[in-house]
Amino acid sequence: MGTSLHELSVTVNGQLRTLRVPPHHTLLRMLRDDLDLTGTKECCTEGECGACTVLLDGTAVDSCLVLAVEADGAELTTIEALADDEPLDPLQAAFVERGAVQCGFCIPGMIMTAKSLLADNPQPSRADVVEAVAGNLCRCGGYTFIVEAVLAAAEAER
């Protein structure tokens, strides 16, 4: 079939990475399996749940719906770009303080979507936040606290 590995260069969380991937691997699979960045979660693989949300050139996308080869030359930001210890990112701190994390599976996607929202719109209304996270499912049903946490993070940054 003439299929071969494609060499690609991506900047992931500020670090230039070069790797070889088959064309059918998604960006999600590349992040988790090739780069061991397992903070980005795999769930529906059809763009419905948002668990795999990352920033691709600063824009929130479902990494399950992007082929890794499409990201050649791009800049990626994943949940691992945030703090892994104190001092936390304002979004992380707000999610902890507001009790917005239950099982935690959807949280990396939620936080990356919220990051993208606050970058574009630093003082969102509640409706803006609800619309922004409409593509992120939380099966614990923690939406109320999640929305409050995003609003609190925006307030903290004011």
67 binds other proteins (CB under 8 A): yes
> 112: closest CA among 130, 91, 83, 94?
91
Is 107 near other proteins (CB under 8 A)? Answer: no
HSE value, Cβ hemisphere, 13 Å, CA-based, for 33: 12
Name which position in 15, 59, 121, 123 contacts other proteins (CB under 8 A): 59
Any contact of residue 136 with other proteins (CB under 8 A)? yes
Which of the stretches 31-39, 90-98, 126-134, 148-156 binds other proteins when contact is defined by CB under 8 A? 126-134
How, if at all, do strands 6-12 and 15-21 pair? antiparallel
Region near other proteins per CB under 8 A, out of 77-85, 95-103, 110-118, 143-151: 110-118
In the bound state with other proteins, the residue whose beta carbon lies nearer, of 93 and 130, is 130
Does position 127 interact with other proteins (CB under 8 A)? The reply is no
Cα dist. 96→17, 27, 111, 132, 152 in Å?
32, 28, 12, 20, 11
Interface with other proteins (CB under 8 A), residue from 12, 39, 41, 50: 50
Interface with other proteins (CB under 8 A), residue total: 32
Q: Which two tokens stand for residue 33?
A: 């399996």
- ∠ CA 37-44-97, nearest 5°, is 60
**Alpha-carbon distance 25 to 42, whole Å?**
13
- Binder of other proteins out of 14, 16, 36, 46 (CB under 8 A): 46
- Amino acid found at 25: H
Q: Which residues bind other proteins (CB under 8 A)?
A: 1-3, 6, 22-24, 26, 45-48, 50, 53, 59-62, 64-67, 69-70, 113, 116-117, 131-132, 134-136
